[in-house]
Amino acid sequence: MGFDEVYRRSIEQSERFWAEAARGIEWDVEPAQVRADGRWFADGWLNTCHNALDRHVAAGRGEQAALVYDSPVTGVKRTYTYRELLDEVARTAGMLAGLGVGRGDTVVIYMPMVPEAVVAMLACARLGAVHSVVFGGFAAPELAVRIDHARPKVVLSASCGIEPSRLVEYKPLLDAALRQAGHRPGHCVILQRPQCRAELEPGRDLDWAEALSTAEPTGCVSVRATDPLYVLYTSGTTGLPKGVVRDNGGHAVALYWSMSAVYGVAPGEVFWAASDVGWVVGHSYIVYAPLLAGCTTILYEGKPVGTPDPGAFWRVVAEHGVRVLFTAPTAIRAIKKEDPAGEWAAKPDLSGLRHLFLAGERLDPDTYHWATGLLGIPVIDHWWQTETGWPIAANCVGIEQLPLKPGSPTKPVPGYDVRILDSAGADCPPGTEGAVAIRLPLPPGCLPTLYKDDQRFTESYLTRYPGHYLTGDGGYIDADGYLYVMGRIDDVINVAGHRLSTGAMEEVVAAHPDVAECAVIGVDDPLKGQLPMGFVVLKAGADRDPADLERELVTMIRDRIGPVAAFRRALVVTRLPKTRSGKILRATMRDIAAGRPYRTPSTIEDPAALQEITDAL
């Protein structure tokens, strides 16, 4: 069956389509209903960890590599077979159960890219507990907000992470977060890494290795398909992140299906998502999908450049026999910057690599052409979000590889009825830009709600266009049905593939004692795609050197949001462009910063304010 036919079936006969896909999963109780009360597989029971590990061992894959840990920052490489990974996970689940963690309890995981992070996630899944992984580049207050919202029974962390330029001590960050948070977890279990030992607080903190040494392996707890597998906080338009909920059943079905249909990967093959377990790409395509599909997954603790050189990715591909590589365009741009002629890619044998998939931000045509010329394989842009958990638009090479068009992530993936809507909610004609929306129902695997906040879920995603999910991206579909995603239409930005909220940064900047008001917008950056930039108006009487103020604001964002925000610039202006009703004209500011033509809104309070932004840049 060709792509268009598969796609048509997925929309017109969605229940039949997903019922067939659900056969790829081992259920404890098969779902009798594919979709009921707005949920997928609602009466099915399963365990995600069983599907990721136990079933493969039972089917004879025990001695196959499940996880390859490759860490150029420590010099360690280690392969875990499916049997070994299962053993680690079962014992870690036993350790957590011994600390009182059971079905429905939450566990926060604040860890670097070490195998124990993957093991911890799967151990939670095994118990039917709900993990919430917090990315290591966030500062203590961001961790505190997540701890207070998720209310974990246990926090799992490590003594340190290793960035190329420095050791990041996680434990002092965790301690600071716990001082700020109102919630008290029963225990913190700390993995002591050889690079740095953390101080443990007696009673509360446990040494991971010690706690594990006495733990008994534990079996899988059967859960409802609709029970949450994890909560992953992602940036919204305010300082309070959104807790995206992922259920067990729909997630397992969709991710399993995506490995063959979207990525064209077979069981036993090596798949590498060069991302971080703290992001959705890491959850879906470092941990769950490759293991559900019986593949070998790579856990890479390093960067595309500087660990030690721009050949690092190509070395890993050749050394471990990677068939499909998935990363962010920014990583390719970083490699291109240091190795424009692609000399590092010429040395290792890359003949086994079939496809390079890129996501996290729009794949700019320059990077597309460079990577295609370098590797001589299809370079595939695909578009998705934390909320969906798997691609919304892609070139589904496992079904039928369609011609590629630079600048487009090809067509909507089966299951996603993507529409371009105008401000009145009508479908835009081909080639006309509008809001990218998805007609309900969303396919399996997409978020059913926000954690403990059904109202915010409805207001954020379902209210603007009734009957549709609002993606927050703008774009268009061309006459051939190819989608073009042009960028966010809200206050979310993407910095080096990391999703951040300018609203959250504004809250921090506005807290500076000399700042009367401010706006933070994303401006284009040739390496990171976008970078945040602040515009601040000083309080009357505040006589500040702009460079000093900028330094203070940079430190505040680093301390309160984290280094990953990459906030480096804050410009002082006398006023911000606003409408007469006081709304800051952020969209117009974004246009000015991007050098795009803009229209001065008729409701503007003072047109000279726009000129001041132009002059400041």
Cα 592 to Cα 586: distance, rounded to the nearest angstrom:
10
If one asks whether residue 473 binds ligand AMP (CB under 6 A), the answer comes out as: yes
**Cβ at position 273, least distance to ligand AMP in Å:** 12
234 binds, among ligand COA, ligand AMP, none (CB under 5 to 8 A by kind): ligand AMP
The packing angle between helices 82-98 and 115-127, to 10°, is 60
Residue 488, contacted partner among ligand AMP, ligand COA, none, CB below 5-8 A by kind = ligand AMP
Is residue 362 at the binding interface for ligand AMP, with CB under 6 A as the rule?
A: yes
Beta strands 228-234; 242-247: pairing state = antiparallel
Give, for 55, the enclosing helix (H) or strand (E).
helix 55-56
At 371, which helix (H) or strand (E)? helix 365-375
Taking the least distance from each CB to ligand COA, the nearer of 439 and 558 is 558
**Which listed option, ligand AMP, ligand COA, none, makes contact with residue 362 (CB within 5 to 8 Å by class)?**
ligand AMP
Kindly state whether residue 359 participates in binding ligand AMP, applying the rule CB under 6 A.
Answer: yes
Among 499, 512, 578, 590, binds ligand AMP (CB under 6 A): 499
Least Å distance, CB 561 to ligand COA, is 10
Q: From the list 321, 378, 398, 563, which residue makes contact with ligand COA (rule: CB under 6 A)?
A: 563
The count of residues interacting with ligand AMP (CB under 6 A) is: 21
Least Cβ distance, residue 399 to ligand AMP (angstroms): 19
Judge whether 131 and 179 are in contact, CB under 8 Å: no
Binding region for ligand COA (CB under 6 A) out of 160-168, 210-218, 220-228, 460-468: 160-168
CA 565 to chain centroid, in Å, comes to: 15
DSSP-derived letter for residue 152 is -
Measured from the CB atom, the residue of 114 and 359 that comes closer to ligand AMP is 359
Order of all β-strands in the sheet with 515-525: 515-525, 529-538, 569-572
Residue 377 CA, chain-centre distance (Å), reads 25
Of 94 and 290, the one with the shorter C-beta distance to ligand COA is 290
157 binds ligand AMP (CB under 6 A): no
Tokens 């991302």, residue located: 275
Q: Which residue has the tokens 């995506």?
A: 258
Three-state SS at 167: strand
432 to each of 332, 447, 472, 487, how far by Cα in Å? Answer: 30, 28, 17, 15
Count how many Cα atoms sit within 13 Å of the Cα of residue 494 in the half-sphere of its side chain: 22
Which of 192/222 has CB closer to ligand COA?
A: 192
Which one of 31, 94, 136, 391 is in contact with ligand COA (CB under 6 A)?
Answer: 136
303 binds, among ligand AMP, ligand COA, none (CB under 5 to 8 A by kind): ligand COA
Q: In this complex, which beta carbon is closest to ligand AMP, that of residue 159 or of residue 258?
A: 258
In sequence order, which residues have a C-beta less than 8 Å from that of residue 313 and are 6 or more positions away?
274, 304, 325, 327, 331, 335
Nearest 5°: the CA angle 361, 130, 70 is 55
Kindly give, in sequence order, each residue whose CB lies less than 8 Å from that of residue 338, ignoring residues fewer than 6 positions away: 305, 309, 310
Distance of CA 594 to the CA centre of its chain: 25
**Position 566 contacts ligand COA (CB under 6 A):** yes
Per CB under 6 A, does 280 bind ligand AMP? yes
Site string for ligand AMP, 286-315 (x = CB under 6 A): ------------------------------
Span from 218-226, 337-345, 379-387, 503-511 in contact with ligand AMP (CB under 6 A): 379-387
Query: CA-to-CA distance for 578 and 573, rounded, in angstroms?
Result: 13
The site map against ligand AMP for 404-443 (x = CB under 6 A) is: -----x----------------------------------
Selected binder of ligand AMP within 360, 434, 445, 534 (CB under 6 A): 360
- State in angstroms the smallest separation of the CB of 279 from ligand AMP: 6
Q: Which of 281, 420, 584, 613 binds ligand COA (CB under 6 A)?
A: 281
Contact 385, 392 (CB under 8 A): yes
d(CA 76, CA 326): 22
Query: What residues have CB less than 8 Å from 242, skipping those under 6 apart?
Result: 233, 234, 235, 236, 450, 453, 456, 460
Q: Are the beta carbons of 46 and 72 closer than 8 angstroms? A: no
Question: Which one, 236 or 290, has the nearer CB to ligand AMP?
Answer: 236
Of residues 233-252, which lie at the interface with ligand AMP (CB under 6 A)?
A: 234
Task: Work out whether 328 is an interface residue with ligand COA (CB under 6 A).
Answer: yes
460 binds, among ligand COA, ligand AMP, none (CB under 5 to 8 A by kind): none
Binding site for ligand AMP (CB under 6 A): 234, 280, 359-363, 381-386, 409, 471-473, 485, 488, 494, 499
Binding site for ligand COA (CB under 6 A): 136-137, 161, 163, 165, 168, 275-276, 279, 281, 303-305, 327-328, 330-331, 334, 359-360, 496-498, 563-564, 566
